[in-house]
Amino acid sequence: MAFVALADLAARVPDGALLAIPPDNSLTPAAFARALVRRGVRGLRLLGVPVSGYVCDLLIGAGCVASLQTSAASIGETGLAPRFARALAAGTLQVTDATCPAIHTMLQAAEKGVPFMPLRGVLGSDLVPHRPDWKVVENPFAAGDPILLVPALSPEVAAFHAVCADDDGNVYVGRRRELATIAHASRRTLVTVERHYPGNLLEDEAMAAGTISGVYVDAIALAPRGAAPSGLLDEYAADAAHLAEYARAARSDEGFAAYLAQYVTLAEAVA
């Protein structure tokens, strides 16, 4: 599988796509999101797996997003996601609330190819009446035991940033094995990586356990430090100062525009 340019990877996300994104701290595709902003994608339906952070907030602020399904929106220690909150208040973003294990479960149902999967808990939460796509049924194996069923969810596209990829399209995510489920459940998976891996990751016993097979991967682009300002495993730490700067700037329209100009539109325009 030949690597493509970052801009070409971003071009593979059609307007209006249901796009699954892991949050800060979980191989989040930050450079890819900035490339999506430059590409001018519109109408994305984002899925935070299971929550959303910097990447989703940036895409929302840049006007790329029509809707967001997530279990929470927050950035770093600030606990806020300013562009998310602003778009929600302005009525320009349709928000569907979930709870983390429900999003994992919906993806696992897609991963197994079943139309639904049960989940304990959640009953009594107002999430249930606000999710007409969820159903509460009686447990067929025990009388008088109501249980939640959530439907399978197959994102059109999943995107994340991994450590490395080989020529067979295998990508290394290390201990963040949950990324495999996102890839398994999604129709297409686009990956940015720090670097090329010479050889075959699945033929290396030391790397195989942390590798997602190329069978699930559609295209790959190099993007060194592509998770920043989030961190990436033991490769680099999160840039807390940058995340705080973003959270501050994004409180105002002007601040967000200045951030975009400085870090997104111009800075990486050559990438």
Partner 1 sequence: MIQPEERLIAALAALILDPAAPVARHIAVGAASPIPAAASWLVKLSGHDVRLSLLHLQRGNPFTEGTRELFDLAGQGRIDLFFLGGGQIDGQANLNLIGTGEWPGTGARFPGSFGSAFMYLMTPRTILFREEHSPRVLVPKVAHISAAGVSPPGVFRRGTAQALVTGRCVFRFDGARFHLASLHPGETADSVRAATGFAYTEPAGVPQTPDPPPDQLALLRGPVRARMQATYPAFCARVWGDSVA
Q: Which residues bind partner 1 (CB under 8 A)?
A: 25-26, 50-51, 70-74, 77, 79-81, 85, 88-89, 95-102, 104, 110-114, 119-127, 130, 144-147, 175-181, 184-185, 200, 202-203, 208-209, 211, 213, 215, 231, 234, 237, 240
Of the candidates 116, 151, 147, the one whose C-alpha atom is nearest the C-alpha of residue 132 is 151
8 A C-beta contact, residue 182 and residue 191? no
DSSP3 helix / strand / coil % (the chain, rounded to 5): 35, 25, 40
Taking the complex as a whole, the smallest distance from the CB of residue 135 to its own copies amounts, in Å, to: 5
Q: For its own copies, which is the closer residue by CB, 39 or 104?
A: 104
Residues 6+ apart with CB under 8 A from 179: 22, 26, 27, 160, 162, 173, 212
Q: Which of residues 211-240 bind its own copies (CB under 8 A)?
A: 233-234
Q: Does 141 bind its own copies (CB under 8 A)?
A: yes
Q: Does 112 bind its own copies (CB under 8 A)?
A: yes
Q: For partner 1, which is the closer residue by CB, 80 or 271?
A: 80
Give me the residues that bind its own copies (CB under 8 A), please: 105, 112-120, 135, 137, 139-142, 145, 147, 149, 151, 173-175, 177, 202, 205-206, 208-210, 233-234
